[in-house]
Amino acid sequence: ETVKVEATLKADKAGPVINRNIYGQFVEHLGRGVYEGIWVGKDSPIPNTRGIRNDVVAALKHIKVPVVRWPGGCFADDYHWRDGVGPERKPTINSNWNRQIEPNSFGTHEFMDFLSQIDAQPFVSVNVGSGSVKDAQSWMQYMTAEPTTPPGAERARNGQQTPWSVPYVGIGNETWGCGGQMRADDYAYEFRKYAAYVKSSSGKRPFLIAVGPDTDDYAWTETLMKEAAWWRPAATPMMYNIDRPIMDGLSLHFYTLPSNTWQNKGVATQFGEDQWISTMKRALFMDELITKNSAIMDKYDPQKKVALIVDEWGTWYDGGPGGLYQENTLRDALVAAVTLNIFHDHAERVKMANIAQMINVLQAMILTDKDKMILTPTYHVFEMYKVHQDATRIPVNYTAPVYRYGEAEVPMISVSASRDKAGKIHVSVANLDPNRAIALDLILTGVKAKTVTGRTLTAPATDSHNTFTAPNTVTPKPATGVKLKGDTLTANLPAKSVSVFELQ
Ligand code: AHR
C-alpha cells in the first residue's frame, strides 16, 4: 500500500541557521566507549596514531563530528583530571559503571589529540559532585594557560606546548542524580559559584552549560532560569559583561525507552510492531520537551541568549553484555532522523546536541570488536544529514497522515529542509510506517531547481542491523523514483526509511 503526501517547500522563507553542533557526540568512560572504542594504546597491533585507532578516526571524520562531550556523564563527577595527566597515570575505580578499573591512560592530552585527529571541538564537563571549584579552575588553567606560566609549563612538560582552546564547559552532569543528588536551588548556587571561576587563563569565559532537567522536570528548568541564568544585579559591570548571561546553555537529557519505564525498557532487536511504534512515539516526545522547556526559558530570556543543549539523547534498551553496549537497528536510524528533524525545527533555541554515545555505548555510531569496526544505521543517518550542518532552515508545510498500531498513533512522515552556503537545498524525510510506502509530491516554491538526487536508508526488517560478519546490511542506496516534474519533486519513500534529497 502507498500513501500520497503533498508538501510545500518555501525556499524564499529563510529560518535560523542549523548549528552544526546539533550533530555533536558524547563519549564517556563507560564500557568500551573509550577503551577499545577510541584508545588502544601505542603498542597495540590495531593500527593507531599515538594510541588512537585509525579506523574510528577515519569514520568519524567522514561524518564531520563538530563537538565531543567528555569525560561523562556520571563519570564526569567522579573524574579527577590530575589522575589522567603526566607520565605516571593513577588507576582508579569507576564508581558509576560496574566498578571497572579506570587506568586513566586516556586523559586530557589523549582526548585533545583525538579531537585534533577528527577535527572536532572539545566540550569538557567539570566535576561538581565530588570535585571543587578549585579543581575545575586549575584544570581550565592547565588546558589554556601560556607555557610561560606555571600551569602552562606543567602542560608543556607533559607534551603540549600550545594552549588548547576549550570553548564549551559543562558545570557538572545530572547534578539532580548521579552528579550530587542536589535540589534545583542547591545546584543553582553551585553553578553561579563555578561560573565565576571557570574561565580560560586569558580571562575569556567559555560557553558555560548548566545542568538542566531530567526529561520533563520543568520545575528544575524554572528554578535554574530564575536563579542562575543572569548575573546578580550587584555584579560589577566593569568585571562582567552583564548583557551576556552567566549561563550560556542549559542542558536537557532525554532517552528514548520503548516501554517508557527504566525497569523494563524493551529489547534492541526482535521486537514487535508494538515496540516499534512506542519507540517512535517516545522519540517524538522530544518536540514537546523542547517546546515546553523553551517556553519557560522565554520567560527569563526572551532574546534567546541562553541555548538549550540536548547533551544526552538516544535510545536505551535492556540487556546487552554490559557496559551499555546495544545493537543498533533500522529503528535507531528512524529515531535519529526524526530527532534531528526536531532539532532543526527548534534551531532558534537548540544550539547543540550530543547523542549518547559515540562508540560501543547506547545509540552508537560505531561498534567495535577488538580490531573490527562496523558503522551502525545511526551513523549512516548522521552521514546523510551532515549536509544540514550550518545550513539555513527552510520551512516545509505538510499534513502528515497517521500511522497507527493498536491504540498508538504517530505522524507517518517527518520532513526538514535547509539551504547550504553553496545554495544547494537538502530535504530529509523519514517514513515512520513500517508497512506503507509514501508517494511524496514536494511542491517547490521560491526556487527553480534543475536537478535532484537522493539517497535512502532502509532494510528488509524493522530490526535489520549491521554485524561484524555482514557489515553492509543497512547502508544508504541511491533513491529510487525521485524526479523533478516542473516545480514538483516526486519521490517514493519506502516503508520504514530515511531519505535525503539534494536540489540544485
Ligand atoms: O549515558 C549514560 C548515562 O546516562 C550518563 O552517564 C548519565 O549522565 C545518564 O544518566
> Cα of 356 to ligand 1 centre, how many Å?
8
For residue 26, which atom of ligand 1 is closest to its CA?
1
User: How many C-beta atoms lie closer than 10 Å to residue 102's C-beta?
Assistant: 24
Pocket-testing residue among 312, 313, 326, ligand 1, by greatest number of atoms within 8 A of Cβ = 312
Question: For residue 401, what is the DSSP state?
Answer: P
Query: For residue 321, is pLDDT > 70?
Result: no
Mean pLDDT of 169-188: 98
What is 258-293 written as a DSSP string? TTS-SSS---SSS--HHHHHHHHHHHHHHHHHHHHH
**Nearest residue by C-alpha to atom 4 in ligand 1:** 73
CA dihedral 429, 434, 439, 442 (to 10 degrees): -20
The three grid cell numbers given for residue 329, joined into one nine-digit string: 537497528
Ligand 1 atom 5: residue of nearest CA: 73
Residues 122-133: tens digit of each pLDDT: 999 999 999 999
Whether the upstream peptide bond of residue 71 has omega within 30° of 0, thus cis, is: yes
For the chain, which domains are there? 2-10+394-503 (2.60.40.1180), 20-390 (3.20.20.80)
Cα–Cα distance for residue pair 293/229, rounded to 1 Å: 14
Among 9-18, 132-141, 166-175, 199-208, which stretch is predicted with the lowest mean pLDDT? 199-208
Mean pLDDT value of segment 45-58: 98
Residue 202 — very low, low, confident or very high, per pLDDT cuts 50/70/90? confident
d(CA 60, CA 56): 6
| Size (the chain), residues | 504
Half-sphere exposure of 168 (CA within 13 A, CB side): 27
Distance 451 CA to ligand 1 centre (A): 44
**Residue 72 alpha carbon, nearest atom of ligand 1:** 6
| Ligand 1 atom nearest to CA at 96 | 6
Q: What's the CA gap between 206 and 67, in Å, rounded?
A: 14
Instruction: Convert the pLDDT of each residue in 443-461 to its tens digit.
Output: 999 999 999 999 999 999 9
Quote the strand ranges of 289-344, DSSP E.
Answer: 307-315
Q: Which of 65, 120, 27 is nearest to 382 (CA)?
A: 65
pLDDT value at residue 235:
64
* Tens of pLDDT, residues 334-383: 999 999 999 999 999 999 999 999 999 999 999 999 999 999 999 999 99
What cell was used for 397?
508545510
| Long-range contacts of residues 97-103, Cβ cutoff 8 Å, at least 24 apart | 97/29, 97/30, 97/31, 97/323, 97/324, 98/322, 98/323, 100/31, 100/323, 102/29, 103/35
Q: Give the residue numbers marked as catalytic.
A: 174, 312
Q: In which band, very low, low, confident or very high, does the pLDDT at 293 lie, cut at 50, 70 and 90?
A: very high
Counting from 1 in the atom list of ligand 1, the atom nearest the Cα of 76 is 6
pLDDT of residue 322: 75
Give the separation between CA 45 and CA 144, rounded to whole angstroms: 34
* Cα–Cα distance measured from residue 499 to residue 458, given in angstroms and rounded to the nearest whole number: 9
Question: pLDDT-derived band of residue 280, with 50, 70 and 90 as boundaries?
Answer: very high
| Inter-axis angle of helices 184-197 and 218-228, nearest 10 | 40
How many whole angstroms from 250 Cα to the centroid of ligand 1?
A: 16
Ligand 1 pocket: which of 28, 68, 128 to mutate (most atoms <8 Å of CB)? 28
ipTM: 0.99
Tell the residue nearest (CA) to atom 6 of ligand 1: 73
Single out the residue of 153, 146, 144, 152 nearest to residue 122, CA to CA.
144
Pocket of ligand 1 (CB under 6 A): 28, 72-74, 173-174, 312, 356-357, 362
Q: If pLDDT is split at 50, 70 and 90, which confidence band does 53 have?
A: very high
Ligand 1 center from residue 427 Cα (angstroms):
32
- Mean pLDDT within 482-489: 96
Q: How confident is the model at residue 503 (pLDDT cuts 50, 70, 90)?
A: very high
Q: Whose CA is nearest to atom 8 of ligand 1?
A: 73
Q: Ligand 1 mean position to 34 CA, how many Å?
A: 15
Nearest alpha-carbon partner for 28 in 311, 309, 258: 311
Q: The whole model's pTM is what?
A: 0.98
Residue 238: what pLDDT?
64
Does the pLDDT value for residue 161 go beyond 90? yes
What mean pLDDT do residues 53-80 have? 98
pLDDT value at residue 169: 98
Query: Ligand 1 centroid vs 26 CA: distance in angstroms?
Result: 10
User: What is the rounded radius of gyration, in angstroms, for the C-alpha atoms of the chain?
Assistant: 23
pLDDT digits (tens, 9 = 90+) for 212-255: 999 999 999 999 999 999 987 766 666 667 788 999 999 999 99
Place of cell 579527577: 80
Q: What is the mean pLDDT of residues 46-64?
A: 98
For residue 424, name the pLDDT band (cuts at 50, 70, 90). Answer: very high
Q: Whose CA is nearest to atom 3 of ligand 1?
A: 73
Report which of residues 135 and 241 the model is more confident about.
135
Cα–Cα nearest to 359, from 111, 35, 8, 7 = 35
Tell me the pLDDT of the chain averaged across its residues: 96
CA of 495 relative to ligand 1 center, distance in Å: 32
Q: Output the nine-digit C-alpha cell for 227.
A: 536563579
pLDDT at residue number 431:
98
Mean pLDDT of 105-117: 98
Report strand pairing: 413-419 vs 392-394.
antiparallel
Nearest CA, atom 9, ligand 1: 73
From 97, 98, 174, 255, give the residue whose CB has the most ligand 1 atoms within 8 Å, as the site to mutate. 174
Q: What percent of the chain has pLDDT above 70?
A: 98
| Cα–Cα distance measured from residue 31 to residue 102, given in angstroms and rounded to the nearest whole number | 10
Alpha helix (H) residue ranges in 161-272 = 184-197, 218-228
